Amino acid sequence: MSLLQVRDLSVIANNAGRDVTLVDRISFDLAEGEILGLVGESGSGKTMACRGLIRLLPSPNLRVQGGAVRLAGQDLLPLDDVGMRAIRGGQLGMIFQNPSSHLDPLMRIGEQIAEGIRLHQGASKKDARRQAIEVLRQVGIPDPQARVDNYPHEFSGGMRQRAMIAVALGCNPTVLIADEPTTALDVTVQAQILRLLLELRDQRGLSIIMITHDLGVVAQTCDSIAVMYAGRLCEHASKYELLAHPRHPYTAGLIDCQPAHSSGHALLRTIAGQPPLLDALPVGCRFHPRCPQVGSLCRERLPEGARVACHYPLGDRP
Amino acid sequence: MSTRPLIAPWRLRLRFGLRDGRLTAAWGLLILLAWLGLALFAPWLAPFDPIAQNTDLSLLGPSLGHPFGTDNYGRDILSRVIWGARIDLQLAIVGVIFPFMIGTFIGAVSGYIGGRFDSVCMRVIDVILAFPFLVLMLAIMAILGPGLKSFYIAMALVGWVSYARLIRSQILVLKESDFALAAKSLGFGHGRILFRHLLPNAMFGSIVFSMSDAVLVLLNGAAVSYLGLGVQPPTAEWGTMVAEGQAFITTAWWICTFPGLAIVTLAMGFSLLADGVAQVLGERP
Amino acid sequence: MSLLQIKDLEVRFAASGSGMFGLHKQWVRAVNGVSLNLAAGETLGLVGESGSGKSTLGRAILHLNPISAGQVLFDGIDMAHGSAVDIARLRHETAMIFQDPYAALNPRHTIGETLAEVLRVQHKVAPQQIARRVDELLELVGLRPELAARKPGSLSGGQCQRVGIARALAVEPRLIVADECVAALDVSIQGQIINLLLELQQRMNLAILFIAHDLAIVRRLCDRVAVMYLGQIVEEGPVEAVFTSPRHPYTAALIQAIPEIDPHRPLPTEPLPGEPPSPLNLPTGCAFHPRCRYAQTVCSVVLPPTHFLHEHRYSCVLEEPLL
């Protein structure tokens, strides 16, 4: 059985008395040691889905609705705040795009890691510090014995991202949610951090949900890919299958958009138009106004499906 | 699928929160407009002459004839409160406008030019801030002589510093912004960049501040009048009335209570408006 | 003759908080002896990591940053020591496009006001023609003229970036400096903006300095590419030559680190270690040597020689192609 099961999870925002659905009934599974890439453009709901999953919603007018989130068999949705706090930072770790704003600038790196270890494992101060040094070593910080007493501003950008991963790893999570972990970094440092995440998966059997807008990043690191568009999950498959044979026209469009490989001044292929506003969604399939192979059903009914949510998936037609 | 909302109670709070901003501003505006109406139509609304003395009627308690009672010279307090609105509204508005304009200009130019000019401006502001506000005002008014005009001059000389600091800090941030750089790259002149592009984006904070500042000016005006340097008797002004009534606080409480309440309601009007505007404007940049 | 010639350009800043009373000023050498040429109608990509000085260089070219030493010749006139008249001419013939499409527009002005202001201040068209020209500009960048009445806050990021481009085009420039102008946009919108730039560039014979960290886009859009590391150009040449046979180890590492959407291509097993050092105290010799896996003892002592192969140049002791 998979480690994490998400079923029909929705995140709803209340905007001046009106409900706007940011994430609409998404379901997916995450196996032990699997890296799942959650891909989408800004506003597609990929971050909100994960924030809803661990109930770290950034504003009080957001709420989680429906379904189930089962972590190792335990349903997390009925848990209250106290119960959820034990899960977050315990079995569920999270890292963010911008380490500078998610590390406490006035607290030593070691203390920030040890704080979680002591809180969740009840370790002694000395023991927690020893573990903090060990975690720093694992995330590839050179000379961890000395670095453990540094403040975040004494670290470079890439080192800070490593430190934030160390804070998340301190409590031995089984699932790590990484929200755009390399977007703020340079390409050469990005490669280092992605390699580190792969190594952590191999050594600890860590499961990772990697939220990103960069198909290149998921192609190189993830096992499976889930694509989100306008709050809906539109396609979910192994990376080989999805990248080689995309079945949703949006996925195919995203892959075609990548400027990589060819050069010369040929025009790039693009997806026409703009993503819809979430409070003014089109009827039927949310992608249909931009879809090159739109059919009559698309304008009427919202497509469902776990592998691909499309009325006329690619490769199906005669 | 269950539709049980998990964080439902927040919804209610939020909805009231949003309406609150506009509601607060509306209440503030209503109070201010009410006072403005009273001030404008004072000659028709006030039942008696505010400065006519009649010792036969001195120190009468609130009654149907004199709802707010009379003072030791037999003047009708209600009429004096209504007439006083003219002076006190003027006090609050004029006492804010000049510091606002001077401070905005100096702060904007100082922040935009930077360098030595900015340092000089900042040191001047530090010097002014080193003195207690009221002490400095009283010193200036003692030189200029008592009266409303010298109150306004003293306010302008002392009050601009807060606006200058507010605007300057905003300009310092905004002049590094992309749209300022864009304006420069398009060959726009400094005046255009500062006054058409930066300043309108820097004003929000000081506009909100000016409304709460009006409250302070009002209280300052009252304090200065109380000390005998502001509005001169027998002109009806709330601060002076409170001061005069002080001697009778145990025997005739109404003399200082009603003008005091007038000050409080006007101050409340300004501060409700400030809060409301801040909330409403804060929603969208 | 080149439209733009940059010769040994240096830009230094005093580091903030340097010493007590600013007595011991430390200098950040953001741009450190850069020479580049850009011909009319040519697109030059300028790539490098954050802190490499590429944005500073772009701004110095447009005289938006003070220049410490060297020359920037626009149309043969040195703008680094240019008079107010020269600078005014530069402003009339160059424009800039920014990374953050929202931050680059005044949030309180409508799109129409923003465009009209440029036309009015620069006297590009007669006053009665302004409204018509605003509509033309909006159509040129693929926006409906009705949007002129809207403010940036009610537009999407892609639309705002189109407005930014329209504003640049209002100048009728010969040179555009585009600073990371698609980095903040979503992939599907990125492509639209790049296509727009490609079309406009061909139609109007624009010279574009395209500053970016995304090498794939540079390869697609540019004729030539210059790779910048710690304020210096380490390699420069035609896009195909540089991408297929990079000569500088840094360029090679950058190219290898591009995440490509090929699931069978694994992550580099040994990514380039470390991060760029602070430009406050540059390493001696070759600035890249502390991170370079081909570094020799000589690299830490002397500046590497610059090699020229046709139009391709690079500064490294190595002589053979790397990929």
Task: Tell me the residues of chain A between 1 and 30 that have a Cβ less than 8 Å away from chain B.
Answer: 8, 12, 14, 16-17, 25
CA distance C60 to chain A (A): 23
Judge whether residue B39 has pLDDT over 60: yes
CA distances to A292, C112, C163, C186 from C144, in Å = 22, 12, 11, 21
Whole domain around residue A193: which residue ranges? 32-56+80-236
pTM over the 0.90 mark: no
Cis ω for the linkage preceding A173 (within 30 of 0): no
CA distance A168 to chain C (A): 22
Overall domain count for chain B: 1
Residue A11 included in any domain: no
A16 phi and psi angles, rounded to 5 deg: 50, 45
Distance between CA atoms of residues A29 and A6, nearest Å: 6
Residue A286 included in any domain: no
Question: Dihedral through CA B137, CA B139, CA B143, CA B145, nearest 10?
Answer: 60
A220 CB neighbours in chain C (<8 A) are: 259-260, 263, 265-267
Domains of chain C: 4-17+25-250 (3.40.50.300)
Contact between C217 and C194 (Cβ < 8 Å): yes
Over residues C30-59, mean pLDDT: 91
Contact C191 A269 (CB under 8 A): yes
Residue B246 included in any domain: yes
Overall domain count for chain A: 1
Contact C108 B201 (CB under 8 A): yes
pLDDT given at position B8: 30
What was the ipTM of the complex prediction?
A: 0.85
Residue B255 included in any domain: yes
B201 CB neighbours in chain C (<8 A) are: 106-108
B13 CB neighbours in chain A (<8 A) are: 60
Which comes out higher in pLDDT, residue A36 or B239? Answer: A36
Contact B10 A14 (CB under 8 A): yes
pLDDT given at position A260: 65
Which CATH number do you get for residue B105?
1.10.3720.10
Chains A and B: how many Cβ contacts under 8 Å? Answer: 39
B8 CB neighbours in chain A (<8 A) are: 63
Which CATH number do you get for residue A45?
3.40.50.300
Residue B278 included in any domain: yes
B197 CB neighbours in chain C (<8 A) are: 106
Distance between CA atoms of residues A313 and A316, nearest Å: 6
Contact B285 C91 (CB under 8 A): no
Judge whether residue B1 has pLDDT over 80: no
Whole domain around residue B83: which residue ranges? 38-283
Residue A215 exposure: Cα atoms within 13 Å on the Cβ side: 29
* Average pLDDT over chain C, rounded to an integer: 88
Residue A194 included in any domain: yes
Alpha helices in chain C (DSSP H): 54-61, 84-93, 111-121, 130-140, 157-170, 187-204, 215-221, 239-244, 249-257
pLDDT given at position C24: 66
Contact C198 A265 (CB under 8 A): yes
Residue A163 included in any domain: yes
Beta bridge partners of C10: C32, C69
pLDDT in tens, A71-99: 988 898 888 888 888 888 788 988 988 88
CA distance A230 to chain C (A): 13
Residue B22 included in any domain: no
Judge whether residue B6 has pLDDT over 50: no
Closest alpha carbon within chain B to C90: B187
Sheet holding C69-74, edge to edge: C27-38, C4-14, C69-74, C77-78
Residue B161 included in any domain: yes
pLDDT given at position B37: 93
Task: Tell me the residues of chain B between 14 and 33 that have a Cβ less than 8 Å away from chain A.
Answer: 14-15, 18
Judge whether residue B9 has pLDDT over 50: no
Contact B187 C64 (CB under 8 A): no
Residue A271 included in any domain: no
B181 CB neighbours in chain C (<8 A) are: 59, 64, 96, 98, 104
Closest alpha carbon within chain C to A193: C271
pLDDT given at position C193: 87
Residue B23 included in any domain: no
CA angle B209, B215, B218 (to 5 degrees): 135
Closest alpha carbon within chain C to A192: C271
pLDDT bracket for residue C20 (50, 70, 90): low
CA distance C270 to chain A (A): 8
Judge whether residue C22 has pLDDT over 60: no
Neighbours of A, requiring at least 3 CB pairs below 8 Å, are B, C
